[in-house]
Amino acid sequence: MLVNATNMLVKAREEGYAVGHFNINNLEWTKAVLETAEENRSPVILGVSEGAGKYMGGFLTVAQMVKAMVESMNITVPVALHLDHGSYEGTKACIEAGFSSVMFDGSKYAIEENLAKTKELVELSHSLGISIEAEVGAIGGEEDGVVGDGELADPEECAKITALGIDFLAAGIGNIHGKYPENWKGLNFDVLEKIKDATGSIPLVLHGGTGIPADMVKKAISLGVAKINVNTECQLAFAAATREYILAGKDLESKGYDPRKLLAPGVSAIKATVAEKMQLFGSVGKV
């Protein structure tokens, strides 16, 4: 059974660790993350972007697949199925499809419109027991065609959106999606501290978890970050392992072309990456 993400993130914030949000892109991805969470006795959030949802056959397909896998794989750790960077329409569609958690990304709107839309979606999601994340200050890089410059969120705006009753908050502190460039300035902890002071005890979210140095990750957790999103790192690990398998000619040996064999090294690489992140975030054994 899926759970919303509120309790797991409040617990993480209080106890000084973070729960990993790992984006899923297909059945193999989902299985890899779920197995790793169970093996490490770690709560986990399965993230689905609107693009990935469309790729997998729609939000209803994703929700039913994940629910069935949690049951048939006998997963006993807390699992939330979460919309990542949802549009207004996409957030409503995922609530209807049976997701247990959603993120409405209204950062592209002027703050008043962001607040109005977020308020409506908070009421809708909470009426159904679904947790909701909101965003202030666009996260840098590109996510499903939405490009952000790594803005620094305004703590006052963070306080306003938190007051609407959202369950956790994504605030830009210089983080970006995708690979970090060599000239990246790093996370702005001064801004993070101000956001923490302005928003009270709400769990904070760090997007763009790929490539952030371990010491920065740990410092961010100490300043209230309780959810860290990872996507690119799993994709890179999967691609590298699959490339190695094919370049070694293993797909031409016996039935090495069978998808179950062809994709196995990539799945193992995802599991290793997820396990490493769970250790770094401190969520191992926190069920």
Angle of helix 59-72 relative to helix 27-39, nearest 10 degrees, comes to 40
The count of structural domains within the chain is 1
φ, ψ of residue 88 to 5 degrees: the values are -60, -50
Distance from the Cα of residue 88 to its chain's centroid: 18
pLDDT tens-digit profile of 39-98?
999 999 999 999 999 999 999 999 999 999 999 999 999 999 999 999 999 999 999 999
Asked whether 212 and 175 are in contact (CB, 8 A), the reply is yes
Q: Is residue 224 part of a domain?
A: yes
Has residue 11 been placed in a domain?
Answer: yes
Please tell me the number of Cα atoms within 13 Å of 14 on its side-chain side.
Answer: 7
**Inside any domain, residue 17:** yes
Note the pLDDT of residue 141.
55
84 is catalytic: yes
First-residue to last-residue Cα distance in the chain: 15
Q: Give the integer Cα–Cα distance in Å for 188 and 183.
A: 14
Q: Is residue 163 part of a domain?
A: yes
Instruction: Classify residue 124: in a domain, yes or no.
Output: yes
- The pLDDT mean for the chain works out to 93
In the numeric block, which tokens belong to residue 134? 């909101």
Domain membership of residue 279 (yes or no) is: no
pLDDT tens across 117-148, in order?
999 999 999 999 999 999 987 665 545 544 44
pTM exceeds cut of 0.85: yes
- Nearest-angstrom CA–CA distance, 70 and 64: 10
CA distance 19 to 116: 28
Model pLDDT for residues 215-228, shown as the tens digit of each residue: 999 999 999 999 99
Phi, psi of 23 (to 5 degrees): -70, 140
Instruction: Name the token pair of 67.
Output: 């629910």
Domain housing 71: 6-231
Four-residue CA torsion sign, 152, 156, 161, 167: positive
CATH number at residue 178: 3.20.20.70
* Residue 280 in domain: no
Catalytic residue among 84, 105, 154, 167: 84
Q: Answer whether residue 141 is part of any domain.
A: yes
CA–CA distance, 120 with 130 (Å, rounded to integer): 13
8 Å CB contact between 83 and 99: yes
* Least-confidence region, from 199-213, 240-254, 260-274: 199-213
